[in-house]
A and B are shown apart, each in its own frame.
Chain A
C-alpha cells in the first residue's frame, strides 16, 4: 500500500530546466561583452535561450509542485 503520492515527472522536468536556464542565462550575460568564438555568437543565444528555459522551468515547477494534503 502506498502512503505517499508520486510526484509528477513534470515537476522534475521543471526543476532541471529551471536550474539549467538560470546557469545559461547568467553565463550569457557574463560573456555579453566578449562572446565566445563561435558562429553567430553576436546573437547572444545563451541569454534568450537561458531565459526561455528558466520561464518554462519555473512554470512546470510551480504548476506541478508538491502540495499539502
Chain B
C-alpha cells in the first residue's frame, strides 16, 4: 500500500528456525480457502460488467456514496498499515493515533468539500489527468510516471511484507505466499478492473472489523477497562507516558516519538495528510467511481467517520499489548532468537485471545488486507499507465476496447513487476524504507501544486511543472543530506532530539512550501491559460451543478462539520 502516512514496516528478513506465533486448525484453513474462492468467484462474476474503459478503470462510475466511501477508506486500510501502526502504538503509545485523526480527517473533509468537485466536474479519470487539463503534458507526465513507478514498487513491498508476516506468524513458505496471493489478485483485477478492486475493498473492510474488533473487547475485559489498562502500562513501563495525545508534544524529548506539536499540526495535518488523501490517485480513484457529484463529495466524509474509529482496532490493541503481553517487544533491527518485534503485536494479540475459527477469521482479515492493498496498487497503476502515459505519449487514438485490453495486460505486467520488487525487497531489507521515502517525495509537493491550480487562475502551466519539480527535488535533497550527515536532522526538524518520524513531517512541510513558492514565482513571470481553457478547472470559472438536496442533512458540508467537531472532541478526551 502506497501511503506515505504509514511508518516504514520493518519486515526485515524472515527469522528461520524460530517458532511461529500461531498454528491454524482445519477450520481456520477452510475459512481462508473460502475467502480465496470467494474473491475469485466475484472477479469472474464482475468480468461481464467491465467492458468499456469507463467500466474497467472507473467501475462504470456507478458506485453509491457508501461503497465509494468504504472503498476509499479501505484502499488505505491494508495489513501493512494495520500491523505497522499497531506496532507503532506499542512503540510510541497513543501518539500513533494522530495519523488517524488530525492526519486524516481534515484532509478527507477538504477532499469532499473543496477538491472533489474539480476532479468530478472536469470528468478526469485520474489525478495526473487533472494535471494534464490544468497544467499540460509536462506536469501530468512527471506525476504519472512517478506515480506508476512507485505504485508497482509499493505493491511488491506489500507482497513481501505479507509473505514475511505469514512466515513469522504461521510458518508459511514465503514463495508460496507471494505467488498464491499475486496470482489471485492478478486474476480478479484483470477480470473485473476497478469493479473487482472496489468490491474486494468493501469485503476487506468488513473482514478487518469483524476479525479484529474482538481484540480490544477482550483486552479491555482482561485489564478492567481503560483506567485498568493505563495502570498496567504504567506498572510495566514506569516513567513513560503512552496514553496522552498532545500533552507530551511540547518538547521533542518528552515523548517516545521524538516529535513536536508543530510537526504534527503543520507537517502531518496541513501538508502530508492533505497530499496523501487529496492527490494520491490510489485513494482518489475510488471516489471518482461514485455515481454523481453529491455521492463523490459525501464519500470521503463517510470514510472520515470510519477512519476516526479505526484506532479502536489498530491503536488500542497496541496499547493493550503494552499492558498484557508477558514479554517486551523490540525493534526488528537487533532482534534476538525468541524475541518478537513491535510489528508482531497484532498477531500476538490474535493468538492470545483467538481459538480455532476466530483465528482463521483474523488471519483472513490480514490476508484480505494485503491482497486489497495489492489490488488497489495494480488497478491504479493500470489506469495511470493506460490513460496518462500510454494514451498521451504512445498511442493517442485507438478504439476504447484497445485501452481496456491494455489495462488488463497492465494489471498482469504490474503484478509481475511487483513480484520482482518483492524478491528485490527480500535481498535488500532497507529497500522498504527507501521506497516509502521515494513515494513521499512526490506526494507532499503535489498537494500544493494541485490546490493552487484549483483555487487561483493566475497559476500557469510552467509554474505548476517547475513548482512540482522544485518541491520534489528539495524533498529528495533533504533526504540525501540527512542520509549523508545524520546531524543535519536537527536543522531540518529544528531539534537535536528529533527522531525519524519528525524528519518526515518537517521534510514534507519545507518541500511543500518551497514548491508553492516556486509555483507562484514562476507563474508571475509566465503566461497563464485563457479563461476558456480553464473552464471547469479553477474555482471561479466553474459552473456548479445545482444539487437537489436542500435539507441540512443532505449537505456534505454539514457532515464535514460534524466530522471535524467529533475530531476536536477526541483530541480533548485524550489530550
Contact = CB atoms under 8 A, between A and B. Distances in A.
The 7 closest A-B pairs by CB, nearest first: A36-B355, A24-B357, A27-B357, A9-B202, A9-B199, A46-B357, A38-B355
Nearest to A44: B355
A35 B42 contact: no
A51 B324 CA distance: 28
Interface of B: 27, 30-31, 34-35, 38, 42, 45-46, 48-49, 51, 60, 62, 67, 195, 198-199, 202-203, 206-207, 210, 214, 218, 221-222, 324, 351-358, 361
For chain A, what secondary structure do more than half of its interface residues adopt (helix, strand, loop), or is it mixed? Answer: helix
A4 B60 CA distance: 14
A12 B199 contact: yes
Classify chain A: how many residues form its interface, as a range: 20 to 34
A39 B222 contact: yes
Nearest to B206: A13
Given A12-B38, A13-B203, A46-B355, 16 more contacts: A2-B49, A2-B51, A4-B48, A6-B46, A7-B45, A15-B38, A16-B207, A17-B210, A36-B355, A36-B356, A39-B218, A39-B222, A39-B352, A40-B222, A41-B355, A46-B358
16 contacts: A2-B49, A4-B48, A6-B49, A9-B67, A9-B198, A12-B203, A13-B206, A16-B38, A20-B210, A23-B30, A23-B357, A24-B358, A37-B355, A38-B352, A39-B218, A43-B221
A38 B23 CA distance: 13
Contacts, number: 83
A58 interface: no
Nearest to B55: A2
A45 B27 contact: no
B357 A50 contact: yes
B199 A38 contact: no
Contacts of B199: 9, 12
Contact of B203 (A16, A23, A28, A43): A16
A25 B146 CA distance: 48
Contacts of B356: 27, 31, 36, 46
From B30, B355, B356, residue with most partner A Cβ within 10 Å: B355
Nearest to B35: A16
A12 B354 CA distance: 25
Contacts of B351: 38
From A2, A20, A46, residue with most partner B Cβ within 10 Å: A20
A20 B352 contact: no
